[in-house]
Amino acid sequence: MSYPHQLTPEEKLADAKKLLSLPRIVVICGSTRFMTEMNEADLQETKAGRIVVKPGIDMKSPRALWSSPAEAEALKVRLDDLHRAKIQLADEVLVVNVRPGSLARGARGHLPSGPALCIDRSPSPLWVKSEGTSEFVSLLLAA
């Protein structure tokens, strides 16, 4: 006897997005040193009709909220978890990387994984496909 395929949480999310007719969701990743470039990418992606999520806190800017090392470390852990959740929600990942070839260690750790990550390093915005999936990841390399 054959049983119906049980949907994974990811498949359920994709189905719900389709049923709601949501626009594509893009998450912007990269070092918060490049918040200006991330904000520009946000503007361009929003103008193109996509929902954009990105880091909301730049911990490299001094603030009382993370003035103590212990508070800063605890907040960083929470923000990393939150950013991974944004990536799970997204249809595309746009990595803002101002220095080509120097993708930050933290940003690299957030990228979707698979048996291989194929990166097309053409001069235009880069599209990355995680092998074994139909999802593409776009990389924006600003000059």
Burial of 31 (0-12, 13-18, 19+ CB in 10 A): buried
Mean pLDDT, each 10-residue run in order, the chain (143 residues): 80 92 88 83 89 90 87 92 88 71 49 41 45 47 38
The helix-helix angle for 9-19 and 69-89 (nearest 10°) equals 70
Residue 107: closest CA among 32, 40, 37: 32
Phi, psi of 72 (to 5 degrees): -60, -45
Predicted model pTM: 0.69
